[in-house]
């Protein structure tokens, strides 16, 4: 059956589970939101949402060097306690995210960090492209919205498909780890350096 983006968004808003997990749960529940919530709770994924508001003052700075020293990443990931910061699960998550950043080159951690200026520039480019291709004015806005969603998926770390498991986003990966560890986990910031390039993200 077809699951709409609106249904996925509603389930995600109510549970905090990742997009792909929400879609999968809705397919299994044949579109029934309440059944999908139960399925996510059974897997421990809905519980992660309740932890999302908790303070994260501990954590770790992780590094990753790739391609014979030509690409390097510094990454700060926060959690609630020093105990969790030292666990293998947390350290593995930090390494996976740093490796992903080296490979996928995101520009932002979350979509809220995308400035209005960047958004407006992208929106204008997408609009001009659609009009250049002769698309009718009445569907240009829908095309622009679709391209903006793709833009977020390409440039925002939490919305990128995870390089080691493209069926899930980096945000999904973190949500799964939150469900397993039982603490809120947040990516604070990152810097990516590539030999010969000026500065890092």
- Mean pLDDT, to the nearest integer, of 8-18? 79
Within 10 angstroms of residue 160's Cβ, the number of other Cβ atoms is: 21
The answer to whether the CB of 112 falls within 8 A of the CB of 160 is: no
Q: In terms of domains, do 23 and 94 share one? A: no
Q: In terms of domains, do 66 and 47 share one? A: no
pLDDT tens-digit map of 50-62: 666 666 789 999 9
Helices (H), the chain: 5-15, 19-28, 33-42, 47-51, 82-85, 88-104, 116-132, 137-155, 170-181
Residue 179 lies in a domain: yes
Q: In terms of domains, do 163 and 102 share one? A: yes
Residue 201 lies in a domain: no
Q: In terms of domains, do 145 and 78 share one? A: no
Number of structural domains found in the chain? 3
**Is it the case that residue 14 has pLDDT exceeding 80?**
no
Domain that holds residue 38: 5-51
Residue 181 lies in a domain: yes
**By C-alpha distance, which of 193, 117, 115, 99 is closest to 156?**
115
Q: In terms of domains, do 130 and 187 share one? A: no
**pTM > 0.85: yes or no:** no
Q: In terms of domains, do 26 and 85 share one? A: no
Q: In terms of domains, do 71 and 164 share one? A: yes
**Residue 190's CATH number:** 3.30.479.20
**Residue 150's CATH number:** 1.10.286
**Residue 33's CATH number:** 1.10.8.10
pLDDT tens-digit map of 84-137: 999 999 999 999 999 999 999 999 999 999 999 999 999 999 999 999 898 888
Residue 199 lies in a domain: no
Residue 136 lies in a domain: yes
């Amino acid at each position: 059956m077809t699951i709409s983006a609106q249904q996925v968004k509603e389930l995600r808003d109510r549970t905090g589970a990742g997009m792909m997990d929400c879609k999968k749960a809705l397919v299994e529940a044949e579109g029934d939101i309440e059944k999908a919530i139960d399925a996510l709770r059974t897997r421990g994924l809905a519980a992660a949402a309740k932890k999302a508001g908790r303070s994260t003052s501990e954590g770790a700075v992780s590094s990753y060097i790739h391609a014979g020293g030509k690409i390097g990443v510094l990454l700060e990931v926060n959690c609630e306690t020093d105990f969790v910061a030292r666990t293998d699960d947390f350290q593995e998550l930090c390494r996976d995210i740093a490796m992903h950043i080296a490979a996928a080159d995101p520009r932002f951690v979350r979509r809220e960090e995308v400035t209005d200026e960047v958004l407006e520039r992208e929106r204008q480019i997408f609009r001009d492209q659609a009009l250049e291709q002769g698309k009718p004015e009445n569907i240009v806005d829908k095309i622009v919205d679709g391209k903006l969603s793709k833009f977020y998926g390409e440039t925002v770390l939490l919305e990128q498909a995870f390089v080691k498991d493209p069926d899930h986003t980096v945000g999904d990966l973190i949500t799964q780890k939150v469900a397993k560890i039982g603490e809120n986990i947040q990516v604070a910031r990152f810097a990516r350096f590539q030999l010969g390039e000026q500065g890092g993200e």
